[in-house]
Amino acid sequence: MQIQTFFQKRSKSTLSNYFQPFDVIPFNQSGVHNPQEDSISARLLTSYGIVRQAGPGTFHLLPLGLRAQSKLEDLIDGELQKIGCHKIAMPHITSGKLWKKSGRHDLIGPELISFKDRHGKKQVMSPTHEESITSMLATLPFLNARDLPIKLYQTGAKFRDEMRPKFGLIRANEFTMKDLYTFDRNIEDAKTTYESVTRAYRNIFQRLGVPFVVVEGDSGQIGGNISHEYHFPAPIGQDTLMVCKQCGGGRNIELGEREMCGDCGGEVEMSKGIEVGHTFLLGDKYSKPFNAVYKTDSVPISSVLYQMGCYGIGVSRVMAASVEVLSSQTELRWPEAIAPFTVAILTPKGGSMEAAAMGLVDDMQRAVGEMFVDDVIVDDRERLTVGKKLREARKTGYPYVVLFGKKCIDSDPKLELHMLNSNTLLELRPSEVMEHLAIAKQRTGTTK
Amino acid sequence: MQIQTFFQKRSKSTLSNYFQPFDVIPFNQSGVHNPQEDSISARLLTSYGIVRQAGPGTFHLLPLGLRAQSKLEDLIDGELQKIGCHKIAMPHITSGKLWKKSGRHDLIGPELISFKDRHGKKQVMSPTHEESITSMLATLPFLNARDLPIKLYQTGAKFRDEMRPKFGLIRANEFTMKDLYTFDRNIEDAKTTYESVTRAYRNIFQRLGVPFVVVEGDSGQIGGNISHEYHFPAPIGQDTLMVCKQCGGGRNIELGEREMCGDCGGEVEMSKGIEVGHTFLLGDKYSKPFNAVYKTDSVPISSVLYQMGCYGIGVSRVMAASVEVLSSQTELRWPEAIAPFTVAILTPKGGSMEAAAMGLVDDMQRAVGEMFVDDVIVDDRERLTVGKKLREARKTGYPYVVLFGKKCIDSDPKLELHMLNSNTLLELRPSEVMEHLAIAKQRTGTTK
């Protein structure tokens, strides 16, 4: 069964020719994983063909994993571009000189991956790009006050030589990061920019729908004055947070313990969190050593240091941590906005009674395909029963699974709609299935 | 002037808040560039704020550069997915062990960038991923003959420690590559796959519209039996090609000189080419050392080595080489399919006579925005004359420039439509401008 009509201009996504290698290796017995360092997300993402470990702390994103990560990138792009951020791409290799200039070469120490090039110059595989972008702005032809603020970001690979990489993509040596850098005239403007990015970050995490907390952060190796961290509460979290029961405000315990909330006096409680985002108001910490300046508009024209901010979201970590929080021990669950495919259609086994409903199967594929374009996958494998297909679809965690079961050949045919994220099963007429999917479509919006 | 109506759900692209730093440094006097190693594309892309050099052979893609490269990626994605390829992302770091296993560690030599991790293990910043993907397939749960062919590709950064990086993105130490790997049952199937990829490659380069030649190639460090190279003929090309005047067939001179064409006996002539793509039928060159096998369907079930192919397109190089071929000494020109924006609208200077045509300006922005969505940029800078805006637009090379000149305030208003790629200027009624743009839209298709 190869229904192609609704994918005329697109590649059709059918499981019969998709690359999703389910693992037959029992949990925790793979040669590559260290069970002590295992997490639900690492285990399930690997076992169900979404991600594959390549080496210590390095991973292949297989087709479904790359789809999920790309959707997350698109979601982030949308929110950042709404506030006037522009996307660029900086090289992964940065000169060791930049890191000496900022003083971070020794500060970061052995986590910094570096090599000597064939001309004997030290080069760094960048874990972050403050030095790189500040140095670029410093060597540009002068920018004017009227050109500010500048808000540039990228999404790409970052490198860190972890002593003990763990939990799959959650603590990896190579990972995908969205990093944004802003440049303002003065510290007041920089604070305004900081607040607008904060709102964008809240929008991003709210659209994702995984519970999160924002706490005062530790500026750590990045430096600066104000900093906030975004965390997904989870037992495997590496950070300990103190969150106020009353106002929801909080801080990282690294800032020191308190019994009461500084903002409202409420009682605080401890929780573990996976850090998924971090924002920093940097001031001139980087613009100063790199002498990154703009020209004032007013006469006499003078050169003034940029006031900077930097803002990171761990894209691959968010993907894995979302799954970590939402999944069961045996089945993946995704935020609806970034599931590899929003809808899966499970067609009847070849030669089964239900295979007689071919016309209906065809109609549904076309209708769903028109609504979700390339965001639907069809499990068209002839040799498998719908029961086996459903088990795989549940493991993979498609938010909406449309199944052609026994009642699809009734005179008033019914299909099964499994809404995995709300753990709901409905038996519905085809038109009713479409109504439910239309609501889902409206909610997930314009992502791929 | 900040017309936002047509970008309600999208970020508006206006030059008043875009990041395109025009360089005031005269050509060839920048501290970073080496004039001996300069090319038209490197010079113009840098001077006009599309790309910025970061270090030896490393570059920032600024917003316009990243847009162009992303469009090219989308174009390639479309053609590869039509033939059933699936996109993945492999880590940039690969274990040194893999490179020793394949024997390429010593073969590639000092161009291979590597470092020792903190556990003393050698790691490579990959220039290509044959070892990585073959090793992944070898460690997967068994795949069946019925699952083949497998066609997996990625688009990402590659690393090479060039002794003498030159010509900007054309010969860089870090560059963007599309690399596809295919796995077939036997050599006949692998040849069929090779031919289908060859057709996809021709479609890609034909859609791009830059003249190209396909020649028999040198298998070089990659190895294998059959190989073809795709070149853009250009004076700065590093390869010398012998191309038949009669049939258009050709070969790289590295394969040895010939006076006659092997296929048709026609006369050959020499030309210089920039290599932009390369395909290899590999056979079991990599599957053998990694013991990458599938299981046969038929009883008795046995394990059989994959027959492989690998296929590369130098994405960042194609972008730069396209510009190299199409541009003049002072103005960028892009293939229409990958220009950073297809359309630029140049609004009248604030306070000018023509500024009275505000209603018309507004209408045109809305109409063009509806047609091209986020593929139009508005030069809305109040302080600049349309003459100055036109000079910048010509330098940047937007294929279609809509200019509100003197006649935009006539009773029967006319606009200027500059079609840069055909060097044509038309004075047209607004409705006629839209007709011309509709034709362009149809041609460039569904790219961003």
> DSSP per residue over B311-345, as a string?
EEEEHHHHHHHHHHHH--SSS----GGG-S-SEEE
Report helix, strand or coil for A342: coil
A87 CB within 8 Å of a chain B CB = yes
Angstrom distance (rounded) from CA A212 to CA A207 = 11
> Burial code of A400-411, b = ≥16 C-beta within 10 A, e = fewer?
bbbbbbeebbee
Rounded to 5°, angle at Cα A210 from A204 and A211: 105
CB-CB neighbors (< 8 A) of A7 in chain B: none
| Residue at token pair 């970020």 | B11
Of the candidates B229, B235, B277, the one whose C-alpha atom is nearest the C-alpha of residue B253 is B229
Helix axes A40-47, A315-326, angle to 10 degrees: 100
In DSSP notation, A38-90 reads: --HHHHHHHHTTSEEEEETTEEEE-HHHHHHHHHHHHHHHHHHHHTT-EE-B-
Segments of chain A assigned to CATH 3.30.930.10: 64-326
Of the candidates B125, B71, B65, the one whose C-alpha atom is nearest the C-alpha of residue B94 is B125
**Do residues B159 and B125 make contact, with C-beta atoms less than 8 angstroms apart?**
yes
Is the CATH number of domain B5-20+341-444 3.40.50.800? yes
Angstrom distance (rounded) from CA B147 to CA B185 = 10
**Do residues B275 and B230 make contact, with C-beta atoms less than 8 angstroms apart?**
yes
CA dihedral of A50, A55, A56, A57, whole degrees rounded to 10: -40
Residue B439 C-alpha, separation from nearest chain A C-alpha, in angstroms: 19
The beta-carbon neighbor of B82 closest among A11, A24, A115 is A11
DSSP letter at B289 equals T
Angstrom distance (rounded) from CA A332 to CA B163 = 48
Of the candidates A173, A154, A151, the one whose C-alpha atom is nearest the C-alpha of residue A162 is A173
CB contact under 8 A, B58 and A113: no
A330: tokens are 């045996």
A173 CB within 8 Å of a chain B CB = yes
Summarised one tens digit per residue, pLDDT across range B256-309 is 877 778 778 888 889 999 999 999 999 999 999 999 999 998 888 899 999 999
When computed from its CA atoms, the radius of gyration of chain A, rounded to whole angstroms, is 25
* Omega of the bond leading into B149 within 30 degrees of 0 (cis): yes
pLDDT tens for chain A, 448 residues: list them: 333 333 344 457 898 889 999 875 544 444 444 545 589 999 999 999 999 999 999 999 999 999 999 999 999 999 999 999 999 999 999 999 999 999 999 998 899 999 999 999 999 999 999 999 999 999 988 899 999 999 999 999 999 999 999 999 999 999 999 999 999 999 999 999 999 999 999 999 999 999 999 998 876 666 667 999 999 999 999 999 998 888 888 888 888 877 788 778 888 889 999 999 999 999 999 999 999 999 998 888 999 999 999 999 999 999 999 999 999 999 999 999 999 999 999 999 999 999 999 999 999 999 999 999 999 999 999 999 999 999 999 999 999 999 999 999 999 999 999 999 999 999 999 999 999 999 999 887 654 4
Angstrom distance (rounded) from CA A394 to CA A127 = 36
A159 CB within 8 Å of a chain B CB = yes
Read off the pLDDT band of B9 (50, 70, 90): very low
Angstrom distance (rounded) from CA A136 to CA A306 = 13
Of the candidates B328, B331, B317, the one whose C-alpha atom is nearest the C-alpha of residue B165 is B317
| Global ipTM | 0.94
- Taking residue B47's Cβ as centre, other Cβ atoms within 10 Å add up to 22
Q: For residue B209, what are the contacts with CB-CB under 8 A and spacing of at least 6?
A: B335, B336, B337
Segments of chain B assigned to CATH 3.40.50.800: 5-20+341-444
pLDDT of amino acid B224: 65
Residue B30 has pLDDT above 80, yes or no: no
CB contact under 8 A, A87 and B63: yes
Residue B175's DSSP bridge partners are B158
Interface of A with B in 42-61 (CB under 8 A): 52, 54-56, 58-61
CB-CB neighbors (< 8 A) of A69 in chain B: 89
Rounded to 5°, angle at Cα B434 from B428 and B438: 130
Instruction: Give the CA distances from residue B392 to residues A11, A156, B48, B157, in Å, rounded to whole numbers and listed in that order.
Output: 39, 30, 8, 31
The beta-carbon neighbor of B136 closest among A52, A84, A92 is A52
pLDDT of amino acid B259: 79
Give the torsion sign (CA, B198, B200, B204, B209).
Answer: positive
Angstrom distance (rounded) from CA A217 to CA A310 = 13
Residue B334 has pLDDT above 90, yes or no: yes
The beta-carbon neighbor of B157 closest among A60, A121, A157 is A157
Rounded to 5°, angle at Cα A308 from A306 and A309: 165
Dihedral-angle region of residue B174 (phi above 0 means left; psi in -120 to 50 means alpha; beta otherwise): beta
Segments of chain A assigned to CATH 3.40.50.800: 5-22+341-444
B35-326 — its CATH code? 3.30.930.10
Query: Measured between alpha carbons, how far apart are the two ends of chain A, in Å?
Result: 25
Angstrom distance (rounded) from CA A92 to CA A123 = 10
Summarised one tens digit per residue, pLDDT across range B200-237 is 999 999 999 999 999 988 766 666 679 999 999 999 99
Which parts of A290-405 fold into alpha helices (H)? Answer: 315-326, 358-372, 386-396
Residue of B nearest to A169 (CA): B91
**Do residues B361 and B413 make contact, with C-beta atoms less than 8 angstroms apart?**
no
The full length of chain B comes to 448
Report helix, strand or coil for A37: helix
Q: What's the CATH class of domain A64-326?
A: alpha beta
Angstrom distance (rounded) from CA A393 to CA A48 = 10
The beta-carbon neighbor of B81 closest among A11, A69, A123 is A11
pTM: 0.94
**Do residues B297 and B144 make contact, with C-beta atoms less than 8 angstroms apart?**
yes
**Do residues A6 and A370 make contact, with C-beta atoms less than 8 angstroms apart?**
yes
Assign domain A5-22+341-444 to its CATH superfamily. Anticodon-binding domain (3.40.50.800)
A127: tokens are 């874990």
Residue B372 has pLDDT above 50, yes or no: yes
Q: Which residue has the higher pLDDT, B187 or A262?
A: B187
Angstrom distance (rounded) from CA A292 to CA A8 = 51
Instruction: Give the CA distances from residue A148 to residues A168, A194, B347, in Å, rounded to whole numbers and listed in that order.
Output: 40, 14, 22
Mutating which of A19, A94, A124, A392 best tests the B interface, going by the most B Cβ atoms within 10 A?
Answer: A19
The beta-carbon neighbor of A55 closest among B81, B95, B118 is B95
> pLDDT averaged over chain B?
91
Residue B94 C-alpha, separation from nearest chain A C-alpha, in angstroms: 7
